[in-house]
Amino acid sequence: MAKLLFLGQLEDIAGAPDLTVPLQGPTTLADILLMLPPILGDALSGPKVKLALNGTLVTSADLILIDADELAFLPPVSGG
């Protein structure tokens, strides 16, 4: 299983701050997004969404998740 975390407005689209997805072995990000409702999958794969795998920023190209991974989806920030 892998855990997906949704920050900012992505939480509203997902309807929850996180989601656990079952994995049958190492799974590409593209395949994980296909398991989700299309509206959520589209929002998560937007060009401005950054990714953190187990707390470290990564690029989405060819990302593969394994059991117990935690992947955070980070939309554009707005602080201060």
Partner 1 sequence: MADVRLALEPFDPAAELTAFAAAHGGAGGIVSFLGQVRAGEGVEALELRHFPPLTLPGMQALAQTTRDRWPLAGLCIIHRSGVMHPGDPIVFVATAARHRRDAFAAADFAMDHLKSDAWFWKREQAAGHWRWIEPREQDHADLARWGRG
Site for partner 1, rule CB under 8 A: 5, 7-9, 12, 52, 55-57, 72, 74-80
Q: How far is the CB of 49 from partner 1 (least distance, A)?
A: 12
Q: How far is the CB of 75 from partner 1 (least distance, A)?
A: 7
Between β-strands 70-74 and 2-6, what pairing exists: parallel, antiparallel or unpaired? Answer: parallel
Sole residue written with tokens 């794969």: 45
Q: Which is nearer to partner 1, 11 or 31 (CB)?
A: 11
Pick from 80, 78, 79, 71: which is nearest to 44 by CA? Answer: 71
Q: How far is the CB of 24 from partner 1 (least distance, A)?
A: 27
Pick from 73, 76, 75, 77: which is nearest to 21 by CA? Answer: 73
Q: Which is nearer to partner 1, 30 or 57 (CB)?
A: 57
